[in-house]
Structure 1
Amino acid sequence: MLADFRPTWMLESIYDLTPQEVREKKIGLILTDLDNTLIAWNNPNGTPQLQKWLVTMHESGIPVVVVTNNSSKRAAKALEELQLPFVSRALKPLSHGINVAKKRYRVSSSEIVLVGDQLMTDIAAANNAHVRSILVKPLIETDAWITKFNRAAERVVKKRLLKKGYLKRTWGHSLND
């Protein structure tokens, strides 16, 4: 059961993910959660750092697709400025949204990584879909009201993962950390 919540890697931020590391790990598609992973849940415009990271990935030919449990309307509004494709109503922790993206982009599970800030939804979904995952530190400390329930359960799971040695105690800045 704990293995369901074990990430492949842990990074401080999605911005630490570089095209070089993506190529080294044979990743052909980056799937990312939206709120508190790509953008702060209460700031849909993103940051200059995000804009720079997205340009770098685009120029490197690495597609970035948002996979979110949000509605299509919410995702479209949040991503309007960023011009990113998305899969809404992903049903994470189920693998539905990941499978939709996999079919849409015609890539195998071994070529996909899902980046997210929650063990209970993002990392569990990645493991359910048999794709690699990157747990990132949430961009801000506050969450939308619905996420607060997940965070409470996540604290218990994190303690167990740490005790078993399945989770690092520090955030990395490289997939090789």
Structure 2
Amino acid sequence: MVSQFKPTWMVTNIYDLTPKQLRENGVRAVLTDLDNTLIAWNNPDGTPELRHWLTLLELAGIRVIVVSNNSRARVDRAVAPFNLPYIHRALKPLSWGLRRALRRWHLRRDEVIMVGDQLLTDVWSAHHTGIRSVLVKPILKSDAWITKGNRVLEKVVMWRLRHDYPELTWQEDLNERKAH
């Protein structure tokens, strides 16, 4: 059961994913969570680092698509300055939102990754959609109230994952070593 929460990779920060690494792993599109993965949950304006990362991926022809459980208004407000496509109300941990993104942008499972900061939503939904996942550390140590309960359960799941899979460690990039 705990294997359903095991990420393909664990990378410290989404901005550490370079176009070169992504291409080497056959990635044409990055599906990403919004809050505490792409932007801080309490700062919808993003950072210069985010803008730079998005520009690098765009120049490399790698699409970035936000897949968020947030409302249309929240996601639209956050991604509008970056002109990013998105799926709102994705219903993660269900696979509905990820499957919808695959269909809408005509993507195959083997050419995308799902990046997120939560095992119980982002990684689980990627696993059940049949796509690779990248767990990143949350941008902020604090969370919106709705996420706090997940973090408690996540600590238990991570403890079990590390017990069952001792090779599961934080990496600097995708090429360092797969968690599988």
Alpha-carbon spacing, 1:121–1:56, altered in 2? closer, same or farther (3 Å): same
Taking the aligned partners of 2:66 and 2:142, their CA distance within structure 1 comes to 21
Taking the aligned partners of 1:43 and 1:77, their CA distance within structure 2 comes to 11
**TM, length-normalised to structure 1:** 0.97
> In the alignment, which residue of structure 1 is the partner of 2:101?
101
Letter in 2 for 1:82: F
Residues 67-82 of structure 1 mapped to structure 2, 5 A cutoff: 67-82=67-82
The alpha-carbon deviation at position 166 of structure 1 amounts to 5.8
Identity of aligned residues (%): 49
The alpha-carbon deviation at position 36 of structure 1 amounts to 0.2
Q: Which runs of 5+ in 1 are unaligned?
A: none
Q: Check conservation: 1:158, 1:167, Cα contact below 8 A.
A: no
Q: 1:175 and 2:170 equivalent?
A: no
SS of the counterpart of 2:135?
A: strand
Coordinate RMSD, CA, aligned: 1.0
The alpha-carbon deviation at position 151 of structure 1 amounts to 0.5
Q: Check conservation: 1:6, 1:167, Cα contact below 8 A.
A: no
> In the alignment, which residue of structure 1 is the partner of 2:136?
136
The alpha-carbon deviation at position 29 of structure 1 amounts to 1.1
The alpha-carbon deviation at position 172 of structure 1 amounts to 1.1
SS of the counterpart of 2:57?
A: helix
> In the alignment, which residue of structure 2 is the partner of 1:115?
115
Alpha-carbon spacing, 1:131–1:92, altered in 2? closer, same or farther (3 Å): same
Alpha-carbon spacing, 1:149–1:29, altered in 2? closer, same or farther (3 Å): same
Taking the aligned partners of 1:82 and 1:173, their CA distance within structure 2 comes to 25
Taking the aligned partners of 2:156 and 2:124, their CA distance within structure 1 comes to 15
Q: Check conservation: 1:102, 1:109, Cα contact below 8 A.
A: yes
The alpha-carbon deviation at position 168 of structure 1 amounts to 2.3
Taking the aligned partners of 1:38 and 1:159, their CA distance within structure 2 comes to 25
